[in-house]
């Protein structure tokens, strides 16, 4: 079994505890669903948030979904000129037999601009396109 890294991002409309937790949960659930993974496949997850998100750590939303034994880490995203506002990013490390080329990253809501090359144009809210050869 290989260790693979999956990337994803989403945005929030407001720095609100409930919204941050909900969007973080949607992001993780979408990533797992699109890659046919479950909780037992997760090794660890790193989250970053832009400095305009401070109401709650995204990990709180993940814990609320029941992922209590997965190591989670939240840090601040490096500020850049023209960077995307109110953005939550993640990198999840997973165990899988799938090749790297079959992994599907997920970019939702306003974060679709970060990797438009990975987003299906006709998917509502943004979803990763299947990059399986």
* pLDDT digits 0-9 by tens, 62-117: 999 999 999 999 999 999 999 999 999 999 999 999 999 999 999 999 898 887 77
Query: Nearest to residue 108, comparing CAs of 26, 15, 1?
Result: 26
DSSP 57: -
Range in 14-18, 56-60, 103-107, 122-126 the model is least confident about:
122-126
pLDDT of residue 119: 67
- 120: pLDDT confidence band, cut at 50, 70 and 90? low
Compute the half-sphere exposure of residue 106: CA atoms within 13 Å on the CB side of its CA: 23
- Find the mean pLDDT for residues 4-32: 97
Q: In whole angstroms, what is the distance from residue 116 CA to residue 119 CA?
A: 5
Name 64's bridge partners. none
Query: Nearest to residue 62, comparing CAs of 85, 35, 42, 37?
Result: 42
Range in 25-29, 74-78, 126-130 the model is least confident about:
126-130
* Domains located in the chain, CATH noted: 2-118 (3.30.1330.40)
Task: Please say whether the beta carbons of 94 and 41 come within 8 A.
Answer: yes
């Amino acid at each position: 079994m290989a260790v693979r890294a999956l990337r994803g991002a989403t945005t929030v409309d407001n720095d609100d505890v409930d919204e941050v937790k909900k969007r973080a949960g949607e992001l993780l659930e979408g990533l797992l669903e699109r890659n046919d993974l479950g909780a037992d496949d997760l090794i660890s997850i790193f989250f970053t948030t832009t400095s305009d998100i401070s109401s709650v750590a995204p990990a709180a939303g993940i814990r609320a979904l029941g992922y209590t034994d997965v190591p989670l880490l939240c840090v601040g995203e490096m500020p850049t000129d023209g960077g995307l506002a109110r953005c939550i990013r993640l990198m999840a490390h997973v165990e899988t037999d799938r090749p790297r080329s079959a992994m599907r990253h997920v970019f939702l809501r306003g974060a679709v601009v970060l990797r438009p090359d990975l987003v299906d144009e006709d998917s509502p809210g943004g979803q990763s396109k299947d990059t399986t050869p």
